[in-house]
Amino acid sequence: MPGVLPKDWNREKLSSLKWIQLASAGFEAGIRSSLYNPEDENPVIITSSSGIHVVQIPEQVFGYIIAINRKFQEYIVAAKTDKKWVKADFASHRELRGSTIGVLGYGSIGREIGRLGKAFGCEILACTSSGKKSPQEGFIVPGTGDADGSIPTSWFSTKDKDSFHSFLSRSQILVICLPATPQTKHMINSHTLSLLPPSSILVNIGRGSLINTDDLLAHLDAPDSKLLGVGLDVTEPEPLPDNHPLFNHPRVFLTPHTAGGSTKYATRNFDLFEKQVERAKRGEPVWNAYDPKKGY
């Protein structure tokens, strides 16, 4: 269950290898390894740990949202850097209740964001490739998620331009939960950013390549910017080079790809692995298998 596979492992010496269970939600480590070749007659099955991040990542998502709404970053800088007790503009502090949260990618993480958002009194929109209501599948941490897909008030499709643009125009808080694929690269760019409602919040816990970083910075600094604030746990490039403008932008809340971290990470990973082995023994398909046609 490695998080990173050596690219030069010898496939011939591991000829009996049939399956690799990754410790990460992303497939990059697996598909870049010499152990995987989709052209093989019987390629190695690679499965991710999707589903084990369903508690910690949504919690961090709402950490960004609340921090932006309540101006935590401004007050932290004043207290820690300037060592000042600033006069707060109470009238500018926003409440989460009543907001519309657009979840771009309604998998295990997206569904838990939807569940928590509804508990906060928010309207939830879901946007997926199909745009159709669907049940939750795969590894599920008890008490989390949206089993039957009933939480969103509306579903939208990334494959239908009008549908996707309508989704963006209604998302006062846009949370990106999609994987990195050729289809999702720079999905958020100058044009799609311009479709967001005024004073919106953007959060990315998917992959950095989904956002065009140059376009994001230009939009943040534009006089007609739609963004109140941005929460980023992933970036393009990653890691960011020293002194990159995202680091000190006053409306960007940045963390160094930490959202998946948890004291319960290993426990859930082995719980998933145990269930995967049980499924394999029963002759059932394992969860989270990489599909080269989809790119994830």
Catalytic residues: 207, 238, 257
**Three-state secondary-structure class, residue 206:** coil
Cα(232)–Cα(225) distance, integer angstroms = 17
Cα(188)–Cα(185) distance, integer angstroms = 8
CB < 8 Å & 24+ apart, contacts of 259-263: 259/53, 259/56, 259/57, 259/60, 259/61, 259/205, 259/233, 260/25, 260/53, 260/56, 260/57, 261/56, 262/53, 262/55, 262/56
Cα(187)–Cα(45) distance, integer angstroms = 29
* Pair 58, 114: CB distance under 8 Å: no
* Pair 196, 165: CB distance under 8 Å: no
Cα(140)–Cα(150) distance, integer angstroms = 17
- Residues forming a β-bridge with 21: 47
Instruction: Tokens for 274, please give them.
Output: 């145990």
